[in-house]
Amino acid sequence: MKIASIPQIYRNLNRWREILSVLSKYELANWIGRLGPEFAKDLLKTPDGTAIARHSWETRIKMALVELGPTFIKLGQILSMRPDLVGVALAQELEQLQSDVPPDPPEKARALIESELGHPIEEIFSSFEDVAMASASIGQVHRATLLSGEPAVVKIQRAGIERKMEVDLEILAGLALLAERLPEFRYYRPRATVAEFQRAMRRELDYRRELRNMQQFARDFKANPRIRVPGTYPKLSTRRVLTMERIDGIPLCQADRIRAEGHDTAELARRGAELYLEMIFINGFYHADPHPGNVMVLPGDVFALLDYGMVGRMDERLHEDFGDLLVALSNQDAEYLATLILRIGTVPPELDRPALRMDLADYVSHYGTQSLEQFDLSGALTEMTEIIRRYGIPLPPSVAMLIKVLVTLEGTAKLLNPTFSLLEVMAPYQKKLLWRRFSPRRRLRKLGRLYGELEHLAEVLPGGIVDILQQVETGKFDVHLDHRGLEPSVNRLVLGMLASALFVGSSLLLSRFVPPLLGGVSVLGALGCGFSLALGFRLWLAINKSGHLDRRK
């Protein structure tokens, strides 16, 4: 860790101590769970009295995040969207993370609204419920009625949450720096993951971004009567306060109640999936959390979406890549599927490409023969993600999010219709993807961009070549080589040569009885032999730790 980070550690010392205490407790419980005696497994417990060591590793991680508080709960929820990094089992466990946090007292909620909007509550709303209707780790929601009589909900940030999260984000950056030094954590790319989390959290702490998302969804679906986006009130919204229309309906998580109301659940599942696929593949801007609690059914089989803090975007490259993935899977082309995965993801240098292609061949032979009606798209995407993670190929966040959304969407639709097949509903959109890719308009646009890049290259290339030639003529042209990983090998080679030379020289001293002598043995020769043997042993330990000399690739 850098010296510059020491003041940050000292400034947040209590929080550092608290976090490290919780992490060490759960790591000790992990050790006891694997190796400890039976009686010791009940020694370490969570704040609610649950024995930690008797749970699975994934459950223990979830428990640790809950105990560490709001920032770490949010970290777990975001990591649940990245099964390519943490694995499918852990991602599924982290999906269950819910922050059961009591709301702020009414006086704090009122004070925040008044300070943000600049007026007393009575001048803004004709009625305002002090008791929050819902409360989470970052914010809470209150019912209200506007002065015009329209029902509304007011979403406000919790008092002091921004400062708490800034402290935790600073500490997470320090922990990520330490984790990068440990080989077992290096694959998870701790620093890149924490940087991605920091960006996501800072976006979520700004309610103006969520307001803009809602306004864009309202524009995209203003002519679609099957979906209702809550109206927004920009003049009553700020960075920490969001005022929107109140909509009452039945959440999809209450599937039995929806059936009891007489809705056709099979038709609802199909319509809901079509709405999401339209967002993804037509609009290119989609609601990224189709959790059953975030989708409501209104009278007339109309859908209403809640919580627009997490959204995804589909650019042209992502459209192409995902369309190609579906084509490779439907054509059972394992070679092309492997090529796509290697093109999309970050390929580690030690990747076993033949083994990856063999696993993908087994994968497509299993899923490629399933009929359209019986195809398990969520299972296929989940298994493909697990294969990618096993070979250490992290996906771009946009691709990982899209895969997770489709998996969650199919699971949500199956609450309404257990026989639902997302791929069957997706078939028309797959054709649209292919047509969009090969459409003349898109080809011309792509050729236009390519022409612009070639034109720029033609402008700068002659000048660059002239500069290089001038440097060569004046003797200022230098070539810098970066020998990554070569320095440790050179150091070991030099150490081995020194140890060998010292041993040979000391042996000569011993054989020639060079004084001073002790018991007829050259003291300098004996010391030199002992030191050379110690150097050789240290060199052997270093080689044994990093890799054996006879290891074959």
Amino acid residing at 152: A
Interval 224-239: pLDDT, tens:
889 999 999 999 999 9
Does residue 232 or residue 542 have the better pLDDT?
Answer: 232
| Domain end among 438, 466, 501 | 438
**What are the CB-based long-range contacts (under 8 Å, 24+) for 220-224?**
220/279, 220/283, 220/285, 224/275
Interval 129-177: pLDDT, tens:
998 888 887 889 999 999 999 999 999 998 888 888 888 888 888 878 8
In this model, does residue 276 exceed pLDDT 70? yes
Does residue 551 or residue 91 have the better pLDDT?
Answer: 91
SS3 295: strand
pLDDT bracket for residue 117 (50, 70, 90): very high
d(C-alpha 397, C-alpha 287), whole Å:
15
The residues facing 464 across adjacent strands are none
CA distances from 51 to 29, 39, 62, 72, 96 (A): 9, 11, 14, 21, 19
Mean pLDDT within 79-88: 80
In this model, does residue 515 exceed pLDDT 80? yes
pLDDT bracket for residue 39 (50, 70, 90): very low
Interval 26-38: pLDDT, tens:
665 565 555 555 5
Instruction: Report the pLDDT value the prediction gives residue 519, as an integer from 0 to 100.
Output: 76
Place of tokens 């929601």: 141
Burial of 505 (0-12, 13-18, 19+ CB in 10 A): middle
Are 403 and 500 part of one and the same domain? no
In this model, does residue 206 exceed pLDDT 80? yes
d(C-alpha 525, C-alpha 509), whole Å:
5
Instruction: Report the pLDDT value the prediction gives residue 27, as an integer from 0 to 100.
Output: 65
**289 an active-site residue?**
yes
The residues facing 135 across adjacent strands are 140
Interval 450-504: pLDDT, tens:
778 888 888 888 888 888 888 887 877 777 666 655 666 777 777 888 888 888 8
Are 419 and 275 part of one and the same domain? yes
Does residue 446 or residue 204 have the better pLDDT?
Answer: 204
Interval 402-442: pLDDT, tens:
888 888 888 888 888 888 888 788 877 767 766 666 667 76
Helix-then-strand count for the chain, H and E: 23, 13
First to last CA, the chain: 34
Q: Out of 104, 168, 220, 289, which one is annotated catalytic?
A: 289
Domain total of the chain: 3
The alpha carbon dihedral of 160, 162, 167, 169 has a sign of: positive
Amino acid residing at 211: L
Mean pLDDT within 67-92: 82
Instruction: Report the pLDDT value the prediction gives residue 126, as an integer from 0 to 100.
Output: 94
Instruction: Report the pLDDT value the prediction gives residue 49, as an integer from 0 to 100.
Output: 65
d(C-alpha 108, C-alpha 44), whole Å:
36
Are 514 and 386 part of one and the same domain? no
Instruction: Report the pLDDT value the prediction gives residue 6, as an integer from 0 to 100.
Output: 46
In this model, does residue 202 exceed pLDDT 80? yes
- Show the domain range for 541: 486-546
d(C-alpha 115, C-alpha 101), whole Å:
23
Instruction: Report the pLDDT value the prediction gives residue 3, as an integer from 0 to 100.
Output: 42
Are 259 and 347 part of one and the same domain? yes
- Percent of the chain scored above 70 by pLDDT? 84
Instruction: Report the pLDDT value the prediction gives residue 484, as an integer from 0 to 100.
Output: 57
Are 416 and 267 part of one and the same domain? yes
Instruction: Report the pLDDT value the prediction gives residue 40, as an integer from 0 to 100.
Output: 53
Instruction: Report the pLDDT value the prediction gives residue 487, as an integer from 0 to 100.
Output: 64
Instruction: Name the range with the highest mean pLDDT among 75-79, 92-96, 243-247, 413-417.
Output: 243-247
**Who's near 187: CB < 8 A, 6+ residues apart?**
392
Place of tokens 């296929």: 380
The answer to whether residue 58 sits within a structural domain is yes
The answer to whether residue 464 sits within a structural domain is no
* Model confidence, pTM: 0.71
Question: Which residue, among 282, 279, 292, has the nearest Cα to 229 in the 3D structure?
Answer: 279
Place of tokens 């701790």: 190
Mean pLDDT within 290-312: 88
Are 190 and 258 part of one and the same domain? no
The answer to whether residue 501 sits within a structural domain is yes
Cis bond before residue 47 (omega within 30° of 0): no
The answer to whether residue 303 sits within a structural domain is yes
Are 341 and 194 part of one and the same domain? no
The answer to whether residue 110 sits within a structural domain is no
Compute the chain's Rg from CA coordinates: 31
Tokens of 314: 């589909």
In this model, does residue 214 exceed pLDDT 90? yes
Judging by DSSP bridges, how do beta strands 311-313 and 517-518 pair with one another?
Answer: unpaired
Mean pLDDT within 357-367: 84
Cβ pair 41, 32 in contact under 8 A: yes
The answer to whether residue 459 sits within a structural domain is no
Are 191 and 258 part of one and the same domain? no
Are 405 and 296 part of one and the same domain? yes
Does residue 552 or residue 16 have the better pLDDT?
Answer: 16
DSSP code per residue over 100-160 = --PPPPHHHHHHHHHHHHSS-HHHHEEEE-SS-SEE-SSEEEEEEEETTS-EEEEEEEPTT
The answer to whether residue 387 sits within a structural domain is yes
* Residue 281 DSSP one-character state: I
Are 503 and 356 part of one and the same domain? no
The answer to whether residue 143 sits within a structural domain is no
Are 426 and 519 part of one and the same domain? no
Burial of 525 (0-12, 13-18, 19+ CB in 10 A): buried
- Average pLDDT of the residues of the chain: 81
